[in-house]
Structure 1
Amino acid sequence: RGKMEEREVHSADGILGHLEALEAEAQEAAVKQEEQEQQQEKMARLQARVQELRLQRDELQAKVKLQQQGQLGEGGIVLDPGQPRAQAVLEWKIKSLKSLLEIFYLTGISAKRSKHGICFSISTAFEGTYLDSYHLELLIQPQVRIHHHSIPIFIPLEQLSKKYLQTNLRSFLALLSHHLNAYVGRRYQADQFQEHFAEQLEGSLQRNSLCNLLVFNYKVAREGKSFLLNARLLYRDPCSTLPSEAIVSCTAEASAALAEVAAAHSALYRQIPLHRAF
């Protein structure tokens, strides 16, 4: 009887183990089925999103095509095919210019509509000091071109216009602003230097119109004596306010110590603005 009871116990254990295994398999199958259903739902959502994006793409392509044909007005409204194509092009140009204004607002460039097109105002400054403003009026039809301006003659406006005006108005305005700010920055330095250090100058500071070449003589004190140095500052980069070349020389009979002073001044002029180098 004891052996029979033992066999019954083992049999019961085997059945329970088998049931547990079946339950585990059933649970695993349920988890897999749930994951498959989730994957199917995700796939359905992705397919719906793809279809939505395709519809948006087709709509945008249609709008671009209409705009290129001059049949799409402001706000995506389809114009009468008989309406002149120039009107649609003009609306597109005005919209593009408005976008540019938002970009350039904090860079000193502003604009307003004029009778003939768009009038830009380019403000210049150096180290936080407001200097001058220059004006540029553009006609935007039938193509973008300069109507009036107050840009100095030595600023390469024509070259910039030929290179960028028709293809990249943003680059045109940005580069023009860089040229103007660099010019007034160099001029400001020369003016400040001449005004505040006139006593150290021997004669007047010589400059060209673009202020990218400055030549001056100035006195330095050394061992109780006054010596004369000659400085020649050349700004090869028209958009820079620091010279690319600064040559400071002294007389041939000057001492080695004075030659060292001249070399130090030469390095200093290339690193900081002229009026702050003294």
Structure 2
Amino acid sequence: MERASTKGVLSHLSFLEVHARSRGSQSQQQGRVKELKAKVETLRVRRNQLKAEINAHKNIQKLRSSIDRQNADEEEEMDEDSENLQLLRLMARHTELQDLLHAHHLIGGYDAINTSQGKGLCVSLTTSYEGVYLDTFNLEIDLKPKVKIGHHNIPPFIPLNNLAEQINLQTDMKAFLDTLSQHLNAFAGRKQQLKLVKEHHKSVEVMESNVLCSILLLMLTEPTEKMAILCSLDYTDHTRCLPTRVHFECEDQQVLHSPQWKKNQILLMETPVHKALITMKKMGTVV
């Protein structure tokens, strides 16, 4: 009787174990089914998005082709009030500009023309700051019999020959042009900042600046005591538009050691000077 009872208990326990495994397996299967359903739904949404993008791209290509074929008279007859047409035109223009930028990038990002019957190259380097195009500089490079710098209108304070030697103009012309462009854009950016300070901050007096715009002395006014504070900005890194050193001077040194003026020092080192002055005025630290 005991053996039979023991067998009965073991059989019951075995049944419970199999049942528990079965339930666990079913729970895992249900979880897996939910996961797969969610993945299918995500893929379906992505498929619809791709279809919409493909249709939009086809419409843009058709519009670009039709615009190329039509003359000015035919364009005037089109419905100018159609919002969809206007949107498609803008999208077509945007796509066209992206193609031009891509092509420009493939040739190194510089406008260049052959000179001296293929023996030379004239490169145009355009500078810009905050989306505004500024000065354009031209550099002629002789290719034969040896690569060397020819005529140019690069400012004399840009170390042109030193850059050519450091980077080796003979073997890596693009690296040389990239570095030169960096110097020119940084100079143009500092020059533009100085211009914006003079135009938009009449209460700030520009005491001194050099041709390279690597040194800038500003006279600020503290609003509470009407105290004059001399601010000097030193741009020792000529490839950047931000100063590497900012220093304040005034009669009351305690003012300059206050937390607010320490914040102003960090602000001027991390933000273009014309924007930093706007923030300082909003905080009430300068007039």
TM-score by length of 1: 0.58
* 2:266 maps to 1:267: yes
Q: Pick one of 187, 191, 194 that aligns with 1:190.
A: 194
Deviation at 1:173, TM superposition (A): 0.4
CA RMSD of aligned residues (A): 2.1
Q: Secondary structure at the match of 2:189?
A: helix
Counterparts in 2 of 1:127-146, with a 5 A limit?
Answer: 127-146=130-149
Instruction: Supply the distance in 2 between the matched residues of 1:146 and 1:217 (Cα, whole angstroms).
Output: 42
Change (3 A) 1:169 1:162: same
Instruction: Supply the distance in 2 between the matched residues of 1:239 and 1:258 (Cα, whole angstroms).
Output: 30
* 2:150 maps to 1:147: yes
Deviation at 1:103, TM superposition (A): 3.9
Q: Pick one of 103, 110, 122 that aligns with 2:125.
A: 122
Correspondence for 1:112: 113
Q: Secondary structure at the match of 2:145?
A: coil
Correspondence for 2:12: none
Correspondence for 2:174: 170
* 2:243 maps to 1:243: yes
* 2:183 maps to 1:179: yes
Q: Is the 8 A contact 2:204 2:218 kept in 1?
A: no
Deviation at 1:155, TM superposition (A): 0.3
Identity %: 32
Q: Secondary structure at the match of 2:175?
A: helix
Structure 1 unpaired stretches of 5+: 1-98
Name the count of aligned residue pairs. 172
Deviation at 1:254, TM superposition (A): 5.3
Structure showing greater Rg:
1
Counterparts in 2 of 1:47-86, with a 5 A limit?
Answer: none
Instruction: Supply the distance in 2 between the matched residues of 1:146 and 1:258 (Cα, whole angstroms).
Output: 50
Change (3 A) 1:139 1:100: farther
CA displacement, residues 167-200 of structure 1 (integer Å, 9 cap, x when unaligned): 2111100000000000111111111112211223
Change (3 A) 1:213 1:179: same
Q: Secondary structure at the match of 1:268?
A: helix
* 2:179 maps to 1:205: no
